[in-house]
Structure 1
Amino acid sequence: MSEHYIEEYVVQESDIDELNHVSNIKYVEWIQEISKAHWYKVTKGTGFDTSYFWVVSSHNIEYKASALLNETVLIETYVEKFEKAFSYRIVEVKDKTSGKLLMKSLTKWCMMDMQTKRIARVPKELFELFRIN
């Protein structure tokens, strides 16, 4: 099973849109933030964290239900697979109390070399760090 990473978050007033639920923009921010946090948690001190960075190639987001002001959500992520220069990452947001799925995304990330700023193939060692078969 792939390395999972979870953060807990209480919905703030600044997260709410004119429909009185978490805005679509905030969900995209959560995807970016938790993906980055997970990357640095797993790769810290390995050299990968300073040699590579990721850029988004595509997002596919399914909104299932609304998150509301002051609700606590669990934001969970894991890498589904690596393929050539790409990482396919899942992010799920669930209501902490009920466990209900609020949002699920699949993001295709492209690995970039920090020095050359060019696309880089995912090193095999990352498969082990993220527990990808």
Structure 2
Amino acid sequence: MELVMPDWDHPQPFILSIKVSAGDIDELGHVNNATYVRWMEICAWRHSESLHLSMCDYRRLDRAMVVLRHEIDYLAAAFANEQIQVATWIVKSDGKLRLTRHFQITRPDDGLTLLRAQSTFVCMELSSGRAKRMPEEFISRYGGAVIGEKGSLCD
């Protein structure tokens, strides 16, 4: 079967490929909605790691980017044994406390978008659990990955 290139919402996505397993399926016979959120989390982590920000870095810096809000549109279902792609982009960062990611989940077999989401993250001090300004490493690495207004990476 020939794979269909998805119509990505933004250029240059960070992509995580996943094969849907039986454990991802709920009583209705399709991927459970909470599973999509788990996949978004995994994709965001892998993207952060590709930017050289790992859990070890978070602990060393005593900071973490944690989800404040998810806005999710479930558009179509995925089923067992299907290949899917989870894409993410950082679309905004205030360089202080917050950043925003977009997510798009597609099925390459037909190019269909299954989900679109926007997640707002806030920087938290791990030792206190309180919101704190981003350290310079977060500002430069996450900020450097923000896509520009026309879809290009910001300088």
TM-score clears 0.5 = yes
Q: Higher Cα Rg: structure 1 or 2?
A: 2
**2:79 aligned residue:** 68
Unaligned runs of 5+ in 1: none
Q: CA deviation at 1:48?
A: 5.3
More strand by share: 1
1:111 is matched by which residue type in structure 2? C
Mapping 1:81-120, distance limit 5 Å: 81-83=92-94, 84-120=96-132
Aligned mate of 1:40, from 43, 49, 52: 49
d(CA) in 2 for partners of 1:2, 1:109: 21
Contact 1:3–1:79 (8 Å) recurs in 2:
no
TM-score scaled by length of structure 2: 0.74
- Residues 111, 8 of structure 1: CA spacing in aligned structure 2 closer, same or farther, 3 A cutoff? same
Aligned mate of 1:125, from 140, 144, 150: 140
Contact 2:89–2:146 (8 Å) recurs in 1:
no
RMSD (CA atoms): 2.3
Aligned mate of 1:8, from 11, 17, 38: 17
* Number of corresponding residues: 131
Q: Deviations over 1:10-52 (max 9, x none)?
A: 100000011111000101111111111111211248x954423
